[in-house]
Structure 1
């Protein structure tokens, strides 16, 4: 069966308590970057606010932001650091609709679950069978390639192996990626693998250590810095494979967020954490599917700025979020955000990528 988006079910605002509810409270910002007392904090779920006697859905919602009322009653999600004096912030922490604020926790029509109170193996662990999850993901990816916006959140482990590096490159080349979010390490070791066939000095196919291999990533960074850009390095060194090569060739955004652990770093790595957050949010606000691979910190960061829904072409639809890691703790870290937004798969990310390539790439 071909993939079909679930139907968004809007609250019935013609019923109580919505009809009798007053407009949501509003207070103005009095100091730059400081929300007024009693501010309302947004979640990953759709939230409606009654402004000028009309219920409105917040635009491009993001968790841990505050709702700000703009002209004509438009409501925007704004980070604390981006609040300015005079901004009209919605205040109030009752979310059941009685006071002009409603959090819609069940927005999409879902199939009925078993009525059994007790059942085995309801969690997600290394013992879970993920066959159905893979099948669902294949169908989702085929749909999203042409109708959605797929973001990959990548840790360096995805390119430590020749086969997974090649698999992800082919997925990018065949349209199964619209943006990449990662850090300096992934890009560095990917380019190292394309230039020297190693990652951190280890052969990406045989896993053998190369003599003086611990210099390889530093030599790679130094060479790219000499050229001044990753694009120029790829051109001058005749690089013709790899994740970075495929992404640049395809013309998709690659956001590399810096870290205190970085060597170098490479050109285009964003060193200012708030600039990196803004760049990531520019992508995640368009996301319809997010696939996070073996990078706990980047996964949490991306999860915190990605809502469970998006308004695309006038239609509200879910954002699918997959977290893949060999560690149960890592993949379940985000599951606490709600079952609508995260599907954890406990597996080796190299095997995961090869499975996707084998089922999606002709």
Structure 2
């Protein structure tokens, strides 16, 4: 039976915490401007000494300023900080600035048997992932009932018949609470529903269709004529579709646009900050995030995802998985500060099919 790791609550009665000063704040010099020596948040649980008590950060996200509002600390994007708001300053990590970063919140007990030298401590194409798969399936079963699961998908997911069917099955059976993607994933998934192709190639036989390079453009035009993705799905009675499953199950679909988009489909958010805000609303509730074959969307999501979440009244870890055939792609997010990410180097189509079979959704 899967059990979440227990959160170790800091003992703030210890002398070192009692002796720490309260946080220092400085008024923001202008809208969207931060004072010198501003403090920036991390992915870990962070406490701020305000008055006589240590307060846990609200709305956590790394690379944010900390604004004290009504005696509570909030992680706030710099662009959202208002003139004269109280911004926490000081960058020390020894409590001398009234800040405690709880790095070991979910630290496992290794019974003192950790060695400084060991082989195969990283993840690569040579790694064994059997246990990673089993742990992920346990987490998904748990979080379907007790959490919020966000998927981040690249268009490769839509280029394979069985991968599309598997992802659709996961949505239909409640394993997806929100889905992030770009114009391409939705376009090629709907193209597959109409023409059984992805960029003009049959999603099962891999046969190239004559004039198949028109299929995605034809799809975009038809959806735009329908006025919305939802109307298009209904008009065409699409069933074997990732997007259609999201529509049927009322799963939020956040499509962030890019400069290279053709079309785009209606519903794609062209303003990057509006897209970030839309993604952030779901990430603030997420307990598990799974990113498949999309380096840029993965980094974007990872950089706004903390390592913890308060769910059902308890502080718990947020599980973040990246799956890609490229070792570089799965390692990139870790290099950008998302240190709690779990990486699996494999073909995403195979990953989805195995997941769907193990979770019995197909």
1:105-124 equivalent positions in 2, closer than 5 A: 105-112=103-110, 114-124=113-123
Q: Distance in 2 between matches of 1:142 and 1:8?
A: 21
| Map of 2:48 onto structure 1 | 49
1:292-343 per-residue CA deviation (whole Å, 9 max, x = no partner) reads 0000000000000000001112210000000000000111112346786211
Q: Distance in 2 between matches of 1:132 and 1:179?
A: 26
1:78-123 per-residue CA deviation (whole Å, 9 max, x = no partner) reads 1011111121111110122232011111111413174333322111
| Map of 2:17 onto structure 1 | 18
1:161 aligns with 2:160: yes
1:300 aligns with 2:299: yes
Q: Distance in 1 between matches of 2:52 and 2:245?
A: 50
Q: Distance in 2 between matches of 1:336 and 1:7?
A: 27
| Map of 1:139 onto structure 2 | 138
Moved more, 48-57 or 329-338: 329-338
| Map of 1:251 onto structure 2 | 250
* Partner SS, residue 55 of structure 1: strand
1:251-330 equivalent positions in 2, closer than 5 A: 251-330=250-329
Structure 2 length-normalised TM: 0.97
Q: Contact 2:299 / 2:336 at 8 angstroms: preserved in 1?
A: no
* Partner SS, residue 139 of structure 2: helix
How far off its partner does 1:187 sit?
0.2
1:359 aligns with 2:351: no
1:76-155 equivalent positions in 2, closer than 5 A: 76-112=74-110, 114-155=113-154
Go from structure 1 to structure 2 and tell me whether the alpha carbon gap of 1:294 and 1:27 turns closer, same or farther (over 3 Å shift): same
Q: Distance in 2 between matches of 1:118 and 1:100?
A: 35
Moved more, 288-297 or 333-342: 333-342
Moved more, 296-305 or 311-320: 311-320
Go from structure 1 to structure 2 and tell me whether the alpha carbon gap of 1:192 and 1:290 turns closer, same or farther (over 3 Å shift): same
How far off its partner does 1:21 sit?
1.0
1:200-244 per-residue CA deviation (whole Å, 9 max, x = no partner) reads 111000111101000000000000000100011111112122100
* Partner SS, residue 18 of structure 1: helix
Structure 1 length-normalised TM: 0.97
1:157-236 equivalent positions in 2, closer than 5 A: 157-236=156-235
Q: Distance in 1 between matches of 2:97 and 2:239?
A: 59
1:331-342 equivalent positions in 2, closer than 5 A: 331-336=330-335, 341-342=340-341
Q: Contact 2:65 / 2:77 at 8 angstroms: preserved in 1?
A: yes
What is the count of residue pairs matched by the alignment?
Answer: 360
> What's the RMSD between the two structures over aligned residues?
1.3
Q: Distance in 2 between matches of 1:102 and 1:32?
A: 27
Q: Distance in 2 between matches of 1:184 and 1:351?
A: 23
| Map of 1:239 onto structure 2 | 238
Is there any run of 5+ residues in structure 1 with no aligned partner, and where? none
